[in-house]
Chain A
Amino acid sequence: MDRRAMLKLVALAAVSPKLNALQNAAVCHMDDATAAAPATAYKLQFFTEEENQLLDQMMEIIIPADDHSPGAHAAKTSLLADLLIFSDEDVVKKRWRSGLALMQKAAAHSSLASALDQAASNEENPQTELERFFVSLKQMTVDAYYTSEIGIHQDLEYQGNTYLAAFPGCTHPEHQDAGPSEKLKPS
């Protein structure tokens, strides 16, 4: 529990005399948003080192580092992909291995960036195996990045999953042309 959460708990207890142990239990469960996940080294379970490297490069192209936040590489998205695919059905494993091989082959003719561009060209209506693989690859990158600490806290600057003694609601007058108290015609 961080200091801010503790102060809020104290404030709430002051106005809510019936606060019981359940509330304390909730606070005990609030992970400190800034705490890092345990730094245990992950060992690849499905991809080879070469496949993981290729995957990592492609994922970084899809969600790259920019001025605002690190990208997929820093978020180690390829490692989550390895875990998820390792624990999935054989047909999914085959699809990924095959897709990576196709991408490798396409990149050998030009560049990885060009191969990715080619694979993404029909994203909304994929027709070829390469195009379908891109859709899966992008979704995996999105899933892995935006569930990572980097994605949630640094990129999106997500404010939820915290402890609020009261919900502030909208405090912007420009949004409130009509407040919730305005009555409409009864039906």
Chain B
Amino acid sequence: MAKELCEGGAKVVMLEAGRGVPNWELLSHRWPYKLPFRGLRDEKQAPFYQGDIRESIRYSDSDKVGVDRVRVVGGRTMHWNAVTLRYAARDFKEWSTQGIEEDWPITYEEIAPYYERIEQIIGICGNDDGLEILPAGKHYLPPIPWRCSEHILHRATIAMGIPLIAVRKAVLTKPYDNRPPCHYCGHCMDGCDVASIFSTPDCMLPKARATGNFTLRENALAREIVVDNEGLASAVSYVDTKTRTEQQVKADVVVVCCSTVESARLLLNSRSPQHPAGLANSSGVVGHYLHGHLGTSASMYLDELAGGTPSNQDGATDHVYLPRYNHLSGKQNYSGGWGIQINFAGYMFPHEAYRLPGYGRDFKENVRKMQPGYLQFGSFGKVEARPENHVTVDSNRVDANGIPIPVVRFRFSDNDRALWQASNQSVLDIFSRMKGKVFPTLASSPGGFASHEVGTVRMGKDPRTSALNGHCQSRDVKNLFVTDGSCFTTSSEKNPTLTIMALSLRAADYIKEQRKKGEL
């Protein structure tokens, strides 16, 4: 968004609650035995969780969900697996096609050009697999070669008549955009210090800076959005977390992109006589419809690879993806589906050692022999968007900077639980087609959200159940836009990031167009 607006001639100030983490500070390649706690206390992840971001949240009356907020320049793009999947046409029409939730106020056809544009900007590897459930672009970089375990899995999926495809990721497999290709170290989630994975600081901010129109203020935690007498956004008040002083920046247009929970928090903390329920919240919708992905993780160790020479370690975490296929099987007793990411956990640590009983020489030998056959599944399933799941703010409990913290309330629905059971069974069904030791999920109930939470400042057709229009523009405050996952009407099983980016690009075009017309 900042890049687009700057390139369109606007002066942009970006307020970022965290600081930038330069590439040389990342611990991606550091061996565990060279870390103080061997990486067992998340030392590698520490740069992404600045200040009290982990502690300044509360859960109330909730199932087992976790909101994983990062605080760093670049946000989640600094700490992600880079899987980038388009939503299908049906994903924008849950009510029309499934009779549940609501339709988005936009269609796939309207967002498709923005998917295409953002894919070309950031660089994505993969293929056009000809799947209606997973539309493709026209400009992909070569896919990542498959590992032995993935070829063996492919035999099973062919026998089942379900697709297994090369994953689509914002990981470069050849030089692109003056960035080098991936060197396959396997530490994507620890931060990419060579910019082969797309990140905002490496890929977008330099372009914004090149226009001469961009200013980044780090350690700037937004407290509230200030409005003028007409109720339009006029400024953002923020806390300089280094000096602990209050600052303010005036603006003609305010774009909120703090992540789903934080964006709702900011708007709810932005109360005024003109907006007593919080900014953009005359509908009472802000904070509601919180949802994300439910997930399950399971693994097996293939007999065919057991005892073999370790090879293909680690790559770029997932190299293949198993798209949703339950929609091919006719009507189910639940709505929605799941996709399965594969082999994103890495080979350095033998996870089977946690699950194998026993100890001693046999145990040690078994762990060693099994490890080359590691095949890990992580399924991500759709969760219903329901108003009773929400984010509020606790005015009696503030963070280290005096800002009321968010309170999450979330319960899975019967549909969610039925879908989760079906997704678990599907994983076992696929595993049963291969020979090896299976470790199914130990969970007895679903967990969420896998950092894919969305929906708290949703766009929609109905002003009673949405806060934004199809351009991510607030219905109440025409110069306020919200362009992170909070703007989603509903969620599919696919990772949301690419759709967030496409919506942001579309909103940027709209802002530029409206400014040219003198409307903003």
Contact = CB atoms under 8 A, between A and B. Distances in A.
A16 B346 CA distance: 27
A17 B174 CA distance: 11
Contact of B310 (A16, A37, A84, A159): A159
A11 to B, nearest CB: 12
Contacts of B313: 158-160
Contacts of B163: 184, 187
A20 interface: yes
Nearest to A123: B357
Closest 9 pairs between A and B when the two form their complex, measured CB to CB: A169-B145, A160-B314, A160-B313, A147-B38, A147-B32, A26-B194, A170-B148, A62-B359, A164-B184
A124 interface: yes
A31 interface: yes
A20 B180 contact: yes
Interface stretch (A45-53, A91-99, A173-181): A173-181
B158 A139 contact: no
Nearest to B302: A175
19 contacts: A19-B180, A22-B193, A25-B23, A29-B24, A37-B33, A63-B359, A147-B33, A148-B38, A152-B32, A155-B368, A156-B350, A156-B368, A156-B371, A159-B312, A160-B185, A167-B144, A170-B150, A178-B151, A179-B154
* Interface of B, helix, strand, loop or mixed by DSSP: loop
Interface string B324-347: 010110000000000000000011
Contacts, number: 206
A83 B37 CA distance: 8
* Interface of A, helix, strand, loop or mixed by DSSP: loop
Given A160-B313, A182-B158, A146 B195 contact: no
Interface residues of B, number: 85
A19 B183 CA distance: 12
B402 interface: no
A37 B34 contact: yes
A64 B150 contact: no
A185 B158 contact: no
A123 B363 CA distance: 14
B37 A87 contact: yes
Given A19-B175, A175-B304, A164 B363 contact: no
Nearest to A170: B148
B482 to A, nearest CB: 33
A147 B349 contact: yes
Contacts of A68: 365, 368
B348 interface: yes
B364 A146 contact: no
A116 B346 CA distance: 32
Interface in B186-231: 186-187, 193-195, 202
B181 interface: yes
Interface in A1-50: 12, 16-20, 22-23, 25-26, 29-31, 33, 37
B186 A175 contact: no
A162 B185 contact: yes
B361 interface: yes
Contacts of B185: 30, 160-164
A155 B366 CA distance: 11
B147 interface: yes
Nearest to B324: A187
Contacts of A186: 130-132
A187 B322 CA distance: 13
Contacts of A163: 183, 185
